A and B are shown apart, each in its own frame.
Chain A
């Protein structure tokens, strides 16, 4: 089955914004690594990335940044 009918769904799939039936239709193609869908998703991922980047970076103080990084590495050691 072709994938043209899914073209409009890729961004919404990546955003988790589809209803379960539409999401399942895309998932099925993604799971079997459909080349056309992979290409569409790659392009869609750039659009979603752009949308996510519309927020300004939230910089913390150097002290807080250091604490957060230390906490990340502590959690990593526990894994």
Chain B
């Protein structure tokens, strides 16, 4: 069984309430998720807790509608083929960030509502695994960004600062911060399109 089939099989078993499958997904994804949450929270115990919480949210999110107890009955489990890795990454980051923001007295709420019905847009397993397979090239692309832009991304991704907060902290005009952040994202978006679509791009 290849990686894509393995991931989809495990997620399918979790949908059928197979606890062992959730444990196998944990074995598969916990180290990379822990690496991310540890960078955000810096403490091992809280980082591990955020990872566990993400798996518990996944268990709930893919529960059959009848056992979910959600009043509006909205489909939470998304289309077949949704990437568990992407879901867990976004969820674990959101959980860790909420804790980090709460600890510094900021609004802990993230707008992202992964526990709700908003999963139709998640990438598919094969797309995420293509990113994983081409990660070395993508890392090289990240390093093509100017250092100040890479530092901005670090603040956004792992330190949980909003654009407005970065501008305030750095004493820079919000328009400049926005312009730099969005230029960096535009660059990554276009390069990712090239890498995902074809090897022909001059990277």
Chain A residues proximal to chain B, CB less than 8 Å: 8, 11-19, 23-24, 26-27, 30-31, 33, 37-39, 41-60, 65, 68-69, 71-73, 75-76, 79
- Which parts of B105-143 form the interface with A (CB within 8 Å)? 110-113, 118, 120-123, 127-128, 131-132, 135, 138-139, 142
List the A side residues contacting B138 at CB < 8 Å.
50
Contact of A72 among B56, B111, B131, B182 (CB under 8 A): B56
- Which parts of B47-94 form the interface with A (CB within 8 Å)? 47-48, 51-52, 55-56, 59-60, 85-86, 89-90, 93-94
CB distance from A65 to the nearest CB of B (A): 7
Query: Can you list 17 A-B contacts (CB < 8 A)?
Result: A12-B156, A17-B162, A17-B181, A31-B118, A33-B120, A43-B189, A46-B192, A51-B157, A52-B89, A54-B157, A57-B32, A57-B34, A68-B51, A69-B23, A75-B52, A76-B56, A79-B59
CB distance from B179 to the nearest CB of A (A): 10
Label chain A's interface by main secondary structure: helix
Scoring B23, B182, B185, B192 by chain A CB atoms within 10 A of each residue's CB, the highest score goes to B185
In the complex, whether B39 has a CB less than 8 A from a CB of chain A is yes
The total of Cβ contacts below 8 Å across the A-B interface reads 156
In the complex, whether B10 has a CB less than 8 A from a CB of chain A is no
Contact indicator A47/B90 (Cβ below 8 Å): no
Given contacts A13-B112, A16-B97, A39-B121, contact A58 B31 (CB under 8 A): yes
Given contacts A49-B128, A72-B26, contact A19 B163 (CB under 8 A): yes
